[in-house]
């Protein structure tokens, strides 16, 4: 029988990968913000039009890229963040898979403007559509990178039609924006939606960042949490028990400054509120866990919001006892009147 197997052309492979990396405009927001963080930006602006369906733009003042890198960053598996398989065990950057930009460029109209510090006044501007480079030319740009992603899913009508209303899509975008902004309070963030400012977050500390996002009233609701052992450092805040809610509200875990979802660790927090909140109520929290990168695996899913810990049970136990202790220290009186 004749051989029938073929290698897929790059643009097809990229489009397939894009299906996993890019679910909606908010996925683009996440990837671009994370790239700006990895580039050590001090100030990041997110510009959105039509809930990201027409435009997602991220402007950063980070390291920028050379002329060659500006072209190469759109190739699949092109990354400056890891070099070998060993590096996978010591990841300190948000990215490392080298597939976000390749994926995004396969399913949108992308324009990138970038300049490194040492390349005097001139940087480079490149336009790419459906994985195809349309143009690249020198351009006078500021140090850093501006990337504009237009008409997401223009070549995948089924995906484009599947997008939800602008109200829903902007919600997802704001969620991603919150997660990155909370994880990096030392970076200034601005978000502009359809021409008006939504967020203006100056560089500050963790508490101030939370207050700037969720409002002044949040300040008095926060109970600080802090503990450090050989295997785990915990910092951040839980929200006082009186403000626990039925719905899942403001609950954030960050592991090594990366937002993650974990129903197991959520349970540990709920358990630490035992006797302070009613069954079925969910406390709010902003918890930062720092662990040795060797003890976690973040390469479980392309979006990296799930994580595997070597020793999940110890994490659970420590989290639970630390929060219990913090709540006790702040002498939170139990909410005894459950009929209130």
Binding-site ranges for ligand ADP (CB under 6 A): 31, 35-36, 38-39, 60, 62-65, 73, 78-81, 95-102, 145
Q: Based on the number of CB atoms within 10 Å of its own CB, is 195 exposed (0-12), middle (13-18) or buried (19 or more)? A: exposed
Residue (148 or 218) nearer to ligand ADP, CB: 148
Which of Mg ion, ligand ADP, none has residue 241 at its interface (CB below 5 to 8 Å by kind)?
none
45 in contact with Mg ion (CB under 5 A): no
The answer to whether residue 95 forms part of the interface with Mg ion (CB under 5 A) is: yes
Using CB distances below 5 to 8 A depending on partner kind, what does residue 127 bind out of Mg ion, ligand ADP, none? none
- Identity of the residue, 20 or 50, whose beta carbon is nearer to Mg ion in the bound complex: 20
Q: Considering the rule CB under 5 A, would residue 100 count as an interface residue with Mg ion?
A: yes
| Using rule CB under 5 A, residue 37 touches Mg ion | no
User: Which residues in 167-186 contact Mg ion (CB under 5 A)?
Assistant: none
State which of residues 14, 27, 35, 103 lies at the interface with Mg ion (CB under 5 A).
35
Picked from Mg ion, ligand ADP, none, the partner binding residue 81 (CB below 5 to 8 A depending on kind) is: ligand ADP
Residues 236-264: b if buried by 16+ CB within 10 A, e if exposed: bbbbbbebbeeeeebbbbbbbebbbebee
CA distances from 127 to 56, 252, 290, 323 (A): 15, 36, 39, 50
Which residue number has the CB closest to ligand ADP? 95
Name the residue among 233, 239, 205 with its Cα closest to residue 289: 233
Q: Which does 153 bind (CB under 5 to 8 A by kind): ligand ADP, Mg ion, none?
A: none
Q: Select 113 or 209, whichever has its Cβ closest to ligand ADP.
A: 113
Q: Classify residue 184 as exposed, middle or buried by CB count within 10 Å of its CB (0-12, 13-18, 19+).
A: buried
CB 201, min distance to ligand ADP, A: 18
Rounded to a whole number of angstroms, the minimum distance from the CB of residue 37 to Mg ion is 9
Nearer to ligand ADP, 61 or 250 (CB): 61
Q: Which residue is nearest to Mg ion (CB)?
A: 95
Which tokens belong to 43?
Answer: 């100030």
Q: How far is the CB of 321 from Mg ion (least distance, A)?
A: 36
Q: Determine contact, residues 289/234, Cβ cutoff 8 Å.
A: yes
Q: Whose Cβ is closer to Mg ion: residue 58's or residue 173's?
A: 58
DSSP-H helix ranges across the chain: 10-21, 25-38, 67-72, 100-106, 157-162, 166-183, 206-214, 263-272, 312-329
Among Mg ion, ligand ADP, none, residue 105 binds (CB under 5-8 Å by kind): none
Give the whole-angstrom CA distance, residue 320 versus residue 25.
36
Q: CA 214, 215, 217, 221: dihedral to nearest 10 degrees?
A: 20
Q: Which residues contact 179 (CB under 8 A, 6 or more apart)?
A: 30, 252, 259
Question: Which pair of tokens denotes residue 191?
Answer: 């978000």
- Rounded to whole angstroms, the Cα distance separating 175 from 191 reads 12
Residue number with CB closer to ligand ADP (79 or 193):
79
Q: Which two tokens stand for residue 248?
A: 């899942």
CA 303 to chain centroid, in Å, comes to 9
62 binds Mg ion (CB under 5 A): no
CB closer to Mg ion, 61 vs 250: 61
Residue 318 Cβ vs ligand ADP, minimum distance, rounded to whole Å:
30
**Where do contacts with Mg ion occur on this chain (CB under 5 A)?**
35, 95, 100
């Amino acid at each position: 029988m004749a051989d029938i197997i073929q290698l897929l052309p790059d643009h097809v492979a990229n489009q397939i990968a894009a299906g996993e990396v890019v679910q909606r405009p908010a996925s683009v927001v996440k990837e671009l913000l994370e790239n700006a963080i990895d580039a050590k930006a001090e100030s990041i602006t997110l510009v959105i039009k039509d809930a990201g369906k027409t435009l997602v733009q991220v402007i950063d003042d980070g390291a920028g890229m050379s002329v060659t890198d500006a072209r190469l960053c759109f190739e699949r598996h092109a990354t400056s963040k890891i070099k070998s398989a060993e590096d996978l065990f010591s990841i300190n950057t948000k990215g490392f898979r080298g597939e976000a930009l390749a994926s995004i460029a396969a399913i949108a109209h992308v324009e990138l403007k970038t300049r490194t510090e040492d390349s005097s006044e001139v940087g480079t501007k490149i336009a790419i559509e459906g994985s195809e480079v349309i143009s690249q030319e020198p351009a006078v740009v500021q140090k850093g990178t501006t990337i504009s992603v237009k008409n997401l899913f223009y070549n995948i009508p089924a995906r484009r039609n599947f997008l939800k209303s602008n109200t829903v899509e902007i919600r997802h975008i704001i969620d991603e924006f919150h997660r990155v902004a909370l994880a990096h309070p030392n970076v200034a963030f601005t978000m502009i939606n359809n021409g008006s400012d939504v967020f203006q977050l100056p560089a500050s500390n963790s508490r101030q960042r939370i207050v700037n996002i969720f409002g002044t009233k949040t300040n008095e609701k926060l109970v600080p949490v802090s503990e450090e052992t050989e295997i785990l450092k915990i910092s951040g805040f839980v929200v006082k028990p009186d403000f626990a809610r039925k719905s899942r509200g403001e609950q954030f875990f960050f592991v090594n400054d990366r937002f993650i979802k974990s129903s197991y660790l959520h349970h540990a927090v709920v358990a630490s509120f035992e006797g302070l909140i009613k069954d079925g109520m969910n406390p709010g929290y902003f918890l930062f866990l720092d662990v040795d990168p060797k003890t976690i695996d973040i390469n479980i899913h392309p979006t990296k919001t799930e994580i595997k810990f070597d020793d999940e049970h110890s994490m659970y136990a420590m989290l639970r006892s630390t929060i219990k202790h913090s709540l006790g220290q702040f002498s939170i009186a139990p909410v005894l009147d459950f009929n209130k």
